Amino acid sequence: MFPKRGRHLDMSLIRFKARALIGAAIAADGIDVLRSPEPHREVAESVLACPALNRLAESAGRTVSPAQAVRAAAIGQTAGGALIATSLAPRLGALASLAATVPATLAGYRFWQIKDDDEARARLRAGFLFRLLVIGADLLVLAGPTGRSKRRAAKAAKAAKKAARRA
């Protein structure tokens, strides 16, 4: 969980702290939505209006209300942020955050459709850019190295040195 001492301590420590900051921001956003879900219902309705999602829900024999969709997305975002922040499962957390953030971003921040109200357009654009920032941070967490791959590389290097000494 914590970076080990060694040659790459500086970058490991920076990644560890960066994940904690990213995860905390994502989890806090999810908690805010859980506390006050009403403003997000309209976005959920437009996401649920997607024909592909309707077919998927029908094939599963379930219907999802906007309130359920908002709560599920907020829980996913909160849990994802916690997984990233604690470094327990940062990639899984990033996937959960992406699953909640991408549809809401595309449905809820369509600033390009507003032509006459500059203030509303600027507000939606700022929200859209913030969501892009969250998506980019999630992608960085997804692409980042994991402790497991480092351990495997260290084991392989150790085995190679041992084999070279024997030869």
- The verdict on residue 4 lying in a domain is no
- The verdict on residue 105 lying in a domain is yes
Q: Is the pLDDT of residue 7 over 90?
A: no
What's residue 105's pLDDT? 87
Tens digits of residue pLDDT in 63-102? 888 888 899 999 999 999 999 999 899 999 999 999 999 9
- The verdict on residue 118 lying in a domain is yes
Point out the least confidently predicted range of 1-5, 22-26, 42-46, 136-140: 1-5
What's residue 8's pLDDT? 53
What's residue 98's pLDDT? 94
- The verdict on residue 3 lying in a domain is no
Q: Is the pLDDT of residue 9 over 80?
A: no
Distance of CA 60 to the CA centre of its chain: 26
Q: Is the pLDDT of residue 156 over 60?
A: yes
Count up the domains in the chain and report the number.
Answer: 1
Point out the least confidently predicted range of 82-96, 117-131, 149-163: 149-163
What is the residue-averaged pLDDT of the chain? 85
Q: Is the pLDDT of residue 128 over 60?
A: yes
- The verdict on residue 147 lying in a domain is yes
- The verdict on residue 1 lying in a domain is no
- The verdict on residue 25 lying in a domain is yes
What's residue 147's pLDDT? 58
**Concatenated DSSP letters for the chain?**
-PPPSSTTHHHHHHHHHHHHHHHHHHHHHHHHHHH--GGGHHHHHHHHT-HHHHHHHHHHT----HHHHHHHHHHHHHHHHHHHHHTSSHHHHHHHHHHHHHHHHHHH--GGG--S-HHHHHHHHHHHHHHHHHHHHHHHHHHS--HHHHHHHHHHHHHHHHHHHH-
Mean pLDDT of 6-24: 79
**Concatenated DSSP letters for 45-79?**
HHHHT-HHHHHHHHHHT----HHHHHHHHHHHHHH
What's residue 94's pLDDT? 95
What's residue 24's pLDDT? 96
- The verdict on residue 116 lying in a domain is yes
User: Range of 77's domain?
Assistant: 9-166
What's residue 30's pLDDT? 93
d(CA 43, CA 38): 10
Higher pLDDT residue, 61 or 4? 61
User: pTM higher than 0.75 for the full model?
Assistant: no
